[in-house]
Structure 1
């Protein structure tokens, strides 16, 4: 047990993202809503300098890359309706501030990824302001326009509500326009969809991607609404565009990272891996929450994941499965699990040991809370109690995550049993492990079938492998090996002290996880 206990207490700083390894193939990523993370100038709004000031915190946590939600100029608080793809929103700082953030992150081996919202623009973008002048304007074809009788004849007037858009009536008129045509905006009228059948639109975004990668030094992009550039009936056009985009990105900066927001069945996600290096696994996120809450693998998570990975692997053997517990669009895992610390630790265990690339949504390591609507999922990060907190944002008052509902970071850092320190131990152990830190390592199923447990093998690209066993329950479980686990010799890591190895079985404490080698 010496090695396991030593591993559990190890919080020494380990390398995160090796410069020789392409972004995303190792490490843990961290999603930041800039507005809510850290305020550097006292205006109550989080900013780029606030992130720069806290890069040591992220490095200490063990993060290898940060994904920033949109930072381009925008009229909205969330900034998913862009007015200038080359600029920085003044609320967040300047281009020089961003360059400094990238440079300081790279000094710490932390990559920087930004949201690229190329599905739609703001109504206030110069392209749409020009296009809305009428069909003779050179920018008219940047967007999708149809006359009302064409919309009716083609039965396009309404769309089904989906997980990512509640807009049922996606065709909108320009106020005061003298022409009959309406523009398409699948999210809402303030976000007109761009027309990717028009080559100049594609060329604009290839130019934008090259700019951020080459002139600013960015390391990659998270691609918003990647599945919706074309309607579902034209989905192969989506695949073709992302293949072209992927080639442009790789040529501009070899090894640059791309991750898509594509929420659908595995068979329909798979073709996106022809152009994108990673895609988020939303179905897995839903399954993790359910089995942790029920303390039983009712969803047969590993069998499902094996099927998903086999489906992805047919299209691209080098696929990266991007794993999440929650994000800026989904109810926070802290609220879904009702703040139960044991359950939150089990969810973290799964996130950080399953094969793929784990993403932490800012504050997840504290157990931050939040339920829809979206503003409540994006509340200020809790650095300290308010009287001592000089960088907490106050652009809105916290409804779910306050010093009354959870311990702020300062208190959790000094508590060895806190959720924060649980995440930190796990991440640092993962970062130093040749199999767990290989985000291209693959899942293999075990012969273990015990109620209340989840177990799996991971095998890396050099043939090294480990067994990971999770106890989802409040009771100690003796997990009996099948013949396929005969090679197991010792416990290398435990999240809860008290595990033991006994020839043909391993004892896993309540809500614990063990790595067996």
Structure 2
């Protein structure tokens, strides 16, 4: 038996070398393809049956519009039943609000989106439940009920649920009050329930194929210690990470986008929370200001907070903030400048439905004050009005679900024949809609914009923002004059000389990068390969 030892050692060495070579030959995981999100506030997008409520069949009928615009990924606000119009705070989780359609309608939508090459992300919020949810309804004053341990309670008799943000009742836009209770996310049965729920939406057939499954999730209001109460804590490690691991084991390409609850840079969520993407909230604030120094400072801070392989989702609007056109006081030049910066920067951009038309809307500032707007969930309606398909707001398909005699209808921002509709803007070559289409087509055509590196040039006290995107020998330079007078970018002569540059917004017409720009003028120039 002694002579066998050298052979055994040699075999072990060969096995180790084979493993080493196999590891060396394994390519690094591919970086996820760049995405352009199109976020839809579901109730306000497209009605198919005449009840003025956006629904699944209406959305499915307009997938070609989203694709032609240049988006690659649809992000939906929640679909589950809820007493609230926005469908956050569910009464059931594995269900669709009947006003939107059926589960069959939902899966038909997912199949149709995938057939058009579009990805689908669902917005998930299950840290709370609304009054009417069976976990709550069937457990009140019944501490031994089946689901009593699924919620957090303030008393041993389970007669008072732990409320959302400390308030027992919340007033809905319909004038009715509903309770919202915190879920016991530390309960193993609750963890298992939500893991299986997300696996169902990601892989309905349970075979790993993802047929009819979503491509990602947005996690609403993600926190490590929910509402800082010390009741649902260590959620990153104990709740979210195991669920994300199970999802990616089943669907390796699935992506997780977190709404970081503090609206900061999201570094903790990208590292300890193990999500793939966060929202670039501070940068959004800078883009509202259109101040060069503020934008530069936030670009640098955002880049510094983003680990390799992670993504910041860039946005000007979403369902929780004011419309960008209203933020820039209806100035079309500023709206174009903001759009160009958002769509040309490093990161995955998000377009909120109607942003590409310049839809307006601001949440009221006099909420809860004497003579002001009452504090209800209706305060968000002005930024969630119906998508403008036709010049006539009353045209068939318009999802004016909020029509009535309340302030949010009487004071609505979008009016018939106001020039802010797809019908009107498609007919105007110089419209904001066509500007978005041009920018998105440019983004898809230039790989250095979709996935290249990013450098800030003109880092001086001038008003010209200069962002260089590079990949290999390809270069694209974004130039925006954010000042009030004509200005010329101060570019390094070594950078701009020795190459043929073209104005990418003017059919690749030859140009020089350091030409004078008018106030709020946008130029995007790129190097061209030799012909």
Task: Give the alignment's TM-score, normalised by structure 1.
Answer: 0.81
Could you say if the C-alpha distance between residues 45 and 417 of structure 1 is closer, same or farther in structure 2, counting changes exceeding 3 Å?
same
Question: Residue 154 of structure 2 is aligned with which of 130, 143, 146?
Answer: 146
> Are the aligned partners of 1:81 and 1:120 in contact in 2 as well (CA < 8 Å)?
yes
Moved more, 409-418 or 228-237: 228-237
Paired residues, number = 456
Question: Residue 118 of structure 1 is aligned with which of 112, 120, 126?
Answer: 126
> Given the alignment of the two structures, is residue 207 of structure 1 paired with residue 208 of structure 2, yes or no?
no
Partner of 2:276: 277
Cα distance in structure 2, aligned partners of 1:509 and 1:495: 15
Larger Rg: 2
> Given the alignment of the two structures, is residue 222 of structure 1 paired with residue 214 of structure 2, yes or no?
no
Partner of 2:328: 337
> Are the aligned partners of 1:186 and 1:193 in contact in 2 as well (CA < 8 Å)?
no
Partner of 1:467: 477
Moved more, 249-258 or 266-275: 266-275
> Given the alignment of the two structures, is residue 83 of structure 1 paired with residue 83 of structure 2, yes or no?
no
The Cα of 1:473 is off from its aligned counterpart by: 3.8
Deviations 1:290-318 (A, max 9, x none): 12xxxx4141x2233222222222xxx11
Q: Map of 1:161-310 to 2, 5 A cutoff?
A: 181-186=160-165, 188-189=167-168, 190-215=179-204, 216-227=212-223, 230-232=226-228, 237-240=234-237, 241-264=239-262, 266=264, 269-273=267-271, 274-291=273-290, 296-299=291-294, 301-310=295-304
Partner of 1:162: none
The Cα of 1:285 is off from its aligned counterpart by: 0.8
SS in 2 for 1:436: helix
Could you say if the C-alpha distance between residues 31 and 60 of structure 1 is closer, same or farther in structure 2, counting changes exceeding 3 Å?
same
> Are the aligned partners of 1:242 and 1:272 in contact in 2 as well (CA < 8 Å)?
no
Could you say if the C-alpha distance between residues 26 and 120 of structure 1 is closer, same or farther in structure 2, counting changes exceeding 3 Å?
same
Unpaired segments ≥5 residues, structure 2: 1-28, 169-178, 205-211, 364-378, 404-408
Could you say if the C-alpha distance between residues 90 and 23 of structure 1 is closer, same or farther in structure 2, counting changes exceeding 3 Å?
farther
> Are the aligned partners of 1:74 and 1:80 in contact in 2 as well (CA < 8 Å)?
yes
The Cα of 1:418 is off from its aligned counterpart by: 0.3
Which one scores higher on RCO, CA 8 angstroms, separation ≥ 6? 1
Could you say if the C-alpha distance between residues 451 and 112 of structure 1 is closer, same or farther in structure 2, counting changes exceeding 3 Å?
same
Could you say if the C-alpha distance between residues 100 and 463 of structure 1 is closer, same or farther in structure 2, counting changes exceeding 3 Å?
farther
Partner of 1:97: 105
The Cα of 1:254 is off from its aligned counterpart by: 1.4
> Are the aligned partners of 1:23 and 1:257 in contact in 2 as well (CA < 8 Å)?
no
Moved more, 339-348 or 302-311: 302-311
Q: Map of 1:436-451 to 2, 5 A cutoff?
A: 436-438=449-451, 441-451=452-462
Cα distance in structure 1, aligned partners of 2:74 and 2:324: 20
Moved more, 419-428 or 224-233: 224-233
Unpaired segments ≥5 residues, structure 1: 1-20, 149-177
The Cα of 1:227 is off from its aligned counterpart by: 2.0
